[in-house]
């Protein structure tokens, strides 16, 4: 990079950093909500991976190969024991609910100080109860169905290529947790390695590594998205409870954009 361009890039980074610092000072609650999500996201990621690991450990390769040979998707589903997946995901759901409650309490504390009231976040509010009940079931359904879609991709690819049922069973066990696009990416990568003349051992090792990377990416994405979403929902529920008590008037409130409070914050979004 030319010296002038480097200097301008450095100045731009400094301006963004100063903007972030001002943002953190002026809007402490959104910043704190992000910190809350950041703090609990690693636990959510571990819990998602642990649920997948339980499914993988429970797979009986012989039974799965027989189910594949029968051509019955229902039998494959039974062998994979997805009926237990919802139970395995409960620690993740509890963490998401913990974020929701903590965000609501944090927002209520800050808002009460600003309004000079005794506002507190109430988890027994019907809306809060409804969110806790429906968000968990929706997340479990989404994870289960997208995981099933990834497995169907592996099954279909195995049939197309004439892959032996035992080999397909082994690959399915390894790839439990991938979405359909991820599973297709792994299959494409495997095909490239085979076309390049790589040994069977290399193909198995490299595709396993790629699979693990994609599963880790999915775990991180789910954890980050769900903890952030729960923190924002907790904040909004606190605002609704404040409206219920007559402490906030929606027609007199002003909306502000909440931008990312990091060094990626650009000069265009910073004033929003």
Residue-wise pLDDT tens digits, 224-269? 999 999 999 999 999 999 999 988 888 877 766 666 666 667 777 7
What global pTM score does this model have?
0.81
Residue-wise pLDDT tens digits, 137-184? 999 999 999 999 999 999 999 989 899 999 999 999 999 999 999 999
3-state secondary structure of 177: coil
* C-beta separation of 169 from 61 below 8 A: yes
pLDDT for the residue 263: 67
Sequence-separated (6 or more) residues with CB below 8 Å from residue 126: none
Residue 1 has which token pair? 């990079």
Q: Within its chain, how far is the Cα of 56 from the centroid?
A: 20
Distance (Å) of CA 187 to CA 71, 203, 246: 20, 11, 57
């Amino acid at each position: 990079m030319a010296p002038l361009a480097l200097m301008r890039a450095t100045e731009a980074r400094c301006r963004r950093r100063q903007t972030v610092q001002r943002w953190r000072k002026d809007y402490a609650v959104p910043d704190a909500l992000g910190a809350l999500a950041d703090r609990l996201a690693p636990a959510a990621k571990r819990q998602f991976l642990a649920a997948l690991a339980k499914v993988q450990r429970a797979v009986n390769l012989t039974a799965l190969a027989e189910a594949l040979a029968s051509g019955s998707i229902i039998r494959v589903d039974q062998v994979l024991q997805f009926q237990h997946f919802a139970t395995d995901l409960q620690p993740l759901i509890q963490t998401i609910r913990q974020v929701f409650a903590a965000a609501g309490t944090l927002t209520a504390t800050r808002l009460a100080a600003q309004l000079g009231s005794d506002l507190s976040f109430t988890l027994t509010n019907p809306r809060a109860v409804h969110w806790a009940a429906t968000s968990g079931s929706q997340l479990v359904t989404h994870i289960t169905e997208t995981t099933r879609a990834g497995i169907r991709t592996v099954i279909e690819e195995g049939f197309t290529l004439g892959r032996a049922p035992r080999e397909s069973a082994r690959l399915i066990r390894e790839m439990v947790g991938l979405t359909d696009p991820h599973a297709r990416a792994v299959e494409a990568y495997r095909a490239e390695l085979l076309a390049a003349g790589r040994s069977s051992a290399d193909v198995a090792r490299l595709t396993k590594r790629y699979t693990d990377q994609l599963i880790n990416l999915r775990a991180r994405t789910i954890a980050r998205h769900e903890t952030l979403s729960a923190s924002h929902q907790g904040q909004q529920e606190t605002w609704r409870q404040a409206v219920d008590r007559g402490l906030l008037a929606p027609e007199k409130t002003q909306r502000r954009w909440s931008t990312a409070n990091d060094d990626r914050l650009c000069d265009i979004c910073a004033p929003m």
